[in-house]
Each structure stands twice: as C-alpha cells, then as structure tokens.
Chain A
Amino acid sequence: MAEITYRDAVIRGIAQEMSRDNDVVFLGEDVAKAGGVFKATVGLYEQFGPLRVRDTPISEQAILGAAMGAAMTGLKPIAEIMFSDFFAVCFDYIANEFPKSRYMSNGQTKCPLVVRTGNGAGSRFGAQHSQSVENWCMMIPGLKVVAPSSPVDVIGLLAAAVRDPDPVIFLEHKSLYPTKGEVPDGEIVDKLGTAKILRPGRDATILALALMVPRALEAAERLKAEHGIDCEVVDVRSLVPLDTQTILGSVAKTHRLFTVEENPRLCGWGAEIVSIVADEAFYDLDSPPVRITTPHIPLPAADILEDIVLPTPERIVDTVRRSLQG
C-alpha cells in the first residue's frame, strides 16, 4: 500500500500494461522524451524505449488514425490526445472510424485501443482547453467511455481499458492529477461497466463522475453534519458500459436522485440516466430527479468566473437540501 498521485497512477497504469504485453505501445504529442505536458507519462520512454513510447507531430488525426491501423493489425495502442477539446480536430476517428469499423465489416475488423486524454476544467485555460467532453463520446455506438476519479481507479480502469477488445475513451481529469490516494501494491485490474458506491446513505443518491466525485463526497459529509441528510454517493466511473443496476439499486433504496455533471447541461450524461430512472424506477422516486450541471455556456478563463460555473460542494449541498427540506 502506498499513497500516490493520480498523475503517478497514470504512469504506473501504463507501465503495468506495457510490462505485461509487448503489443502495448504508446504514442502522442510530447509524451516520450518530455514525459507529457501534465507529466503523467514521465519515465515511460526511459523504461520502454523509443520503439514503444513515441513522440508524434502535432497531428491528432495521424495519432488516432495510426493507433487504429496498429490496433486493426495486432497491436494494442494507447494514444494520448493532450486536451480532450482537441477531439474536435480528430473526431472522425472517434465518431466514424473506431466505433463503426467492426459493425460495417460484419465483425471482421477489430479495434482494441485506448485514447487517453486530459479532460475537464479548473486550470483557468478557457473555453478550448477545459471542456468535459464525456457526453460527446457517450452518444456514439461502438465506443466505451471511462472517467476515473481516484489513483487506484486510474490504474485499474486503465488496465481494463487496455485489455478490452473495444475502443475505449479514457478521460483523465486535469484537476485531479495532483490529488492523492491509497493504492495497493502489485497488479491492479478493474472492470469496465461498474459503478462504485463510495459512501452509503439512506436519504438521497448522488451520482458523480471524475472531479465531481470528491465534490459530491464533500457535499455529502456536510449534508449529514449540517442538515442531517444522509446521502449515498455513487461514482459512475464508466459511462459506456453503464452500470444501470447499481444506479437503480441505489435509487430503490434512497428514493431520490441527483446527478452532478461537469459537462454542459444539454445532453449531459445525467440526462440519459434520469431518463432510464424515469422509465424503469419512476415509482421508486419520492421527488423529481435533479441534475446539477455546468450551465450551457462556453467555459470562461478567470478564476472567479470558472469557479462559479462548475458544480461546487456548496451548490450540491444547497440543491439537495432545498429539494429535501424545501
């Protein structure tokens, strides 16, 4: 057991998989000699050499296209897109190529690859380097989409993603890189498609993802201490596949549902979950489900502006309290 950062967990997760399987290769911009702009790949180039850890030009289409061609023909590439906002310049691969080749070829084509990317706000980078793009990815049949919130989940879910035979979008939250957590020694392999109940509770279910998870946990502690409201916090972790059973089970127990989403409001992941709950667990609910999201605006750069648009523990506390106590 050791306490490590989310950033170091990325390094350890990639290293674990590259040590296990020579077919795992890694490419991206500034990832090799420089160790990544977020320093989340430091030492991999030294450990695995220039044939397996490769710097690329600033060519996002070439990065993802090359990862796909390598995956189709026998390798298991991990590709880094530095900021998830840049998905927009290589979205053809994410939307049209990775997820559709198996289907269109009637099962002939495989695409076992992982796209790692720095997702999310909090770094004051403004509207083109701060977005939460999980909803861009979730809507595409054929992709899997994962977003860990803790170091141990980074390692375990990254290992599961690399071993998965489908294309997986692996969203690392930029603001979580310096955060720390306990990680067991030895190999860690988790399972895609599993949500985790991080804090059991009786009065309401709070679903959260990535950076919103620690905020939901903090809010739950305050709701309990200050208002006597006992919330269950569920880390969704994997949007596709989606662990609906854990979510429905929690709602059946608490009868109230809140989602905490960093993505802008329209078509956020919470909307899909609320619709599932409305379809399948409507009579379990004691009150309307409530979505706590970033508003439908581009993200501003200034501290004071960015802080106010993202869901905060205060906003979560306030929303849950008003819903339960009026």
Chain B
Amino acid sequence: MATARNSAQAAPGSGLNDDIGEDKRLALYRSQLRIREAEQRAFDLFLQNLVKGTSHLSLGQEAVASGFAEAMQKGDLSFCTYRGHAHTLARGVSVEKVLGELMQRDNGLMRGKGGSMHLTSEEHGVMGSYAIIGAHLPIACGAAWRAQYKGDKDVSVCFFGDGTTNIGAFHEALNFAAVWKLPVVFVCENNLYMEYTPIGDVTAVPHPAADRAAAYRLERIIIGGNGADVVYRTAQKAYAKARAGEGPSLIEALTYRHSGHSRADPAKYRPEGELEKWKERDPIKIYRERLKQFGVGDKVIAGIDAEVRKEVDDATEACKAAPMPPLDILTTDVYADGGWAWRN
C-alpha cells in the first residue's frame, strides 16, 4: 500500500524499496520525535518545578538513539549513560514511565528509586543508565561475554559521550572487548563538549573515540550522527559483525546537544552562532525532509506528529495525577530477598 505509492514518488536513485524501507523510516521518524517531545516536556516540567533533581537532555541528539535502537533486534541490550532518556524511550519504554520517574512519582519506571540518571527497563533490553562516567563499558563487555559463552545471538550496545573517552574504564573495556572478541558495539556520541569544556581542549586527538580505535586494532569509524539513516545503516553493519563473532566496533557519531549539559547549565560557553548552525542540521528537521524526499505525504507526517504529542500530553497528565511513591519502598530490594536486613 504505502510502499507502492511511495515507490512511484521516490526520489531518483533512492527509492523507498531501498534497504531501509518506508515502515522503518516512519518508525525512525516517530522514535526521534517521541524523544524530542518528551525531552522538551521534561525541560518544561523542570521549569514548573515538577521535575526534580538533575536531568541531562538529548535534545538535538535524537538520531543516534533512534538509529541504533531501530536497528536492534528483540533481546539486544542497551547500556546508557545518565543522558539516557533518549535511549530508554528509543527501546519502546513509555513516555509516562520515563516522565513519571523524572517527576518522582509512583508510576515512574523505578518508582522514584533511581531517578533521571538511572533509567532501567530490562524487559525492553534497557540494562541500566550509568551515572559514573565509563562504568558501563566494562559492564556491556560482561553482557557480551555471557552471549559469547552461551552462544546467544544478542548484541550489547553501549552509548557514551565524548568525555568518557578520557577515563580509564573506556580503555580497559576497549582492550578487553577486542582481546576477547566480544559482541559489543561502543557508540560515542560526540556532542563536542565534555560537560562544560570543549572536548578538543582536553583530548590529545581530534576525534576522541575514533582516533583511539587503532590502539585496539579496531576500524576508525566516524559518522554524521544527525542523519538517522546513516546511523541506522552503521548500526546494522556493526551488529551483523558482532553477531557473526567478529568482535566489537567503536563508532563515533558527531552530534550536538541543543541544551546545556544538565539542567543547571545554560551553556554560555558556546561560541556565538554555533547552536544556530547545528540547529540547521536538527535531526528531526533533516528526517522530515528525508521522508518527504521519499514521497511520504504531509498528512502522514502530521498524523505521527499528532499521535506523539498526544502520547506526551497524556503521559504528562497521568504523571501529574500520579501519587508520590509510598514510604514502604524505601527499604525494599537492597538485597535479593527483597529486603534490607544486614544482621539477624
């Protein structure tokens, strides 16, 4: 149906029946938009003092999360950072669960016990969001080791920022994964800033991840991280390599965050015009154009836009109405018996 229509209207030389196809493109668009709308809502709710604690938004970086997640199969595992809302949403976790956690409500993903920086949904393959820089790279190696040992075909995908490339765990994990030939894919989202400092000011090489790949006999891979199609194809290739038993990949995706590092950061350290320049390469804008190139009508796009906004609006209302967590969960799940007893 849609495919036939779109084939007829596809841009020359890049028809809709290409390797990605219309269904996946619409999914990529929807995924990016969900992240954009949910993150923007998180920011608005923070201004209303309804999102507490810290939060690290991925506004502007949506294509990386969506491209890698949409290329995954069920059972593949995501390991995220404290900037992990995007990767969590991209695996299909509901906006309500994510916003609920940010708003510290009982309907949150972890009922308020983890918070923004630790989003986890194992049923969706989201194996945690890690707030100690670099900690999850070795952990992803361990999950990949289990797959290798048991003959499972899942891939562990580990997302991190450019700043992570200067911490020891990054180098330990890369070497470990390469020596053990583990089915793990390391994705560096290079958004140009290590928190408040330009990554180039504190790193010996221009490309903080890719320029280190050779040290671990890995291919040097740098991609534009704001084009979801490029990201998706890169992910597919890396996952296939991992599943074939050919070892890890390290991918550096160039992108840019539209907001500050965290809610506390107005990002005044940026040179004038930089944000505006990157906003011209806004992944959502790029992808909307891309869909149109492939013949997707405005009506279809507007339909997705409306559905996503409704999901975010409904989630917001549900979270506002949700109770705060009950105090009796304070002492649950410290130990595997469900409790917190350390003595008899």
* Residue contact A25 to B149, C-beta cutoff 8 Å: yes
- How many angstroms from the CA of A122 to the CA of B176 in the assembled complex? 33
* Residue contact B172 to A61, C-beta cutoff 8 Å: yes
Which residue of B has the minimal Cβ distance to A243? B344
Query: Lowest 9 A-B CB distances belong to which pairs?
Result: A65-B138, A69-B142, A165-B336, A66-B142, A59-B172, A107-B333, A62-B172, A106-B110, A69-B143
* Residue contact A102 to B176, C-beta cutoff 8 Å: no
* Residue contact A59 to B175, C-beta cutoff 8 Å: yes
Which residue of A has the minimal Cβ distance to B150? A74
A residues near B137, Cβ cutoff 8 Å:
65
B→A interface (CB under 8 Å)? 77, 109-111, 113-115, 118, 120-122, 127-128, 130, 132, 134-147, 149-150, 156, 168-169, 172-173, 175-176, 179-180, 329, 332-338, 340-344
17 A-B pairs with C-beta separation under 8 A? A57-B179, A61-B138, A69-B146, A72-B139, A92-B132, A93-B135, A93-B138, A102-B335, A104-B114, A104-B115, A104-B118, A105-B110, A105-B114, A106-B111, A108-B110, A108-B121, A141-B334
A residues near B173, Cβ cutoff 8 Å:
61-62, 65
B residues near A193, Cβ cutoff 8 Å:
344
Partner of A101, one of B128, B142, B338: B128
> A56 interface residue, CB < 8 Å from B?
yes
> A242 interface residue, CB < 8 Å from B?
yes
B residues near A67, Cβ cutoff 8 Å:
142
For window 83-98 of chain A, which residues contact chain B by CB distance below 8 Å?
Answer: 92-93, 96-97
* Residue contact A65 to B135, C-beta cutoff 8 Å: yes
Partner of A106, one of B150, B172, B176, B333: B333
* Residue contact A109 to B122, C-beta cutoff 8 Å: yes
- How many angstroms from the CA of A59 to the CA of B177 in the assembled complex? 12
- How many angstroms from the CA of A112 to the CA of B142 in the assembled complex? 13
In the complex with contacts A106-B110, A106-B329, A109-B128, A57-B175 CB distance below 8 A: yes
Interface centre among A65, A97, A107, A240 (most CB of B within 10 A): A65
A residues near B342, Cβ cutoff 8 Å:
141, 240-242
- Taking the nearest CB of chain A, how far is it from the CB of B199, in angstroms? 22
A residues near B168, Cβ cutoff 8 Å:
61
Partner of B142, one of A65, A104, A106, A245: A65
Partner of A62, one of B122, B138, B341: B138
- How many angstroms from the CA of A74 to the CA of B143 in the assembled complex? 9
Which residue of A has the minimal Cβ distance to B182? A66
- Taking the nearest CB of chain B, how far is it from the CB of A94, in angstroms? 12
B residues near A244, Cβ cutoff 8 Å:
343-344
- How many angstroms from the CA of A71 to the CA of B128 in the assembled complex? 14
Main secondary structure of the interface of A (DSSP, over half): mixed
A residues near B127, Cβ cutoff 8 Å:
69, 72-73, 109
> A142 interface residue, CB < 8 Å from B?
yes
- Taking the nearest CB of chain B, how far is it from the CB of A326, in angstroms? 34
- Taking the nearest CB of chain A, how far is it from the CB of B146, in angstroms? 5
- Taking the nearest CB of chain A, how far is it from the CB of B127, in angstroms? 6
- How many angstroms from the CA of A166 to the CA of B333 in the assembled complex? 11
- Taking the nearest CB of chain A, how far is it from the CB of B104, in angstroms? 13
> A110 interface residue, CB < 8 Å from B?
yes
Partner of A108, one of B122, B141, B175, B343: B122
Which residue of B has the minimal Cβ distance to A111? B336
Interface centre among B134, B329, B334 (most CB of A within 10 A): B334
Give A248-288 as 1s and 0s: 1 = Cβ < 8 Å from B's Cβ atoms: 00000000000000000000000000001000000000000
- How many angstroms from the CA of A93 to the CA of B134 in the assembled complex? 11
- How many angstroms from the CA of A244 to the CA of B333 in the assembled complex? 22
- How many angstroms from the CA of A77 to the CA of B149 in the assembled complex? 12
4 additional contacts (CB under 8 A) given A57-B176, A103-B333, A242-B342? A69-B145, A73-B77, A105-B114, A244-B344
Which residue of A has the minimal Cβ distance to B168? A61
- How many angstroms from the CA of A93 to the CA of B173 in the assembled complex? 14
- How many angstroms from the CA of A241 to the CA of B113 in the assembled complex? 23
- How many angstroms from the CA of A125 to the CA of B120 in the assembled complex? 43
In the complex with contacts A66-B176, A244-B344, A73-B146 CB distance below 8 A: yes
A residues near B340, Cβ cutoff 8 Å:
141
Which residue of B has the minimal Cβ distance to A113? B142
- Taking the nearest CB of chain B, how far is it from the CB of A150, in angstroms? 22
* Residue contact A64 to B138, C-beta cutoff 8 Å: yes
B residues near A166, Cβ cutoff 8 Å:
335-336
Partner of A68, one of B142, B144, B333: B142
> A70 interface residue, CB < 8 Å from B?
yes
* Residue contact B145 to A70, C-beta cutoff 8 Å: yes
- Taking the nearest CB of chain A, how far is it from the CB of B166, in angstroms? 14
Which residue of A has the minimal Cβ distance to B138? A65
- How many angstroms from the CA of A64 to the CA of B338 in the assembled complex? 24
* Residue contact A241 to B172, C-beta cutoff 8 Å: no
* Residue contact A105 to B175, C-beta cutoff 8 Å: no
Which residue of A has the minimal Cβ distance to B113? A106
- Taking the nearest CB of chain A, how far is it from the CB of B9, in angstroms? 45
> A51 interface residue, CB < 8 Å from B?
yes
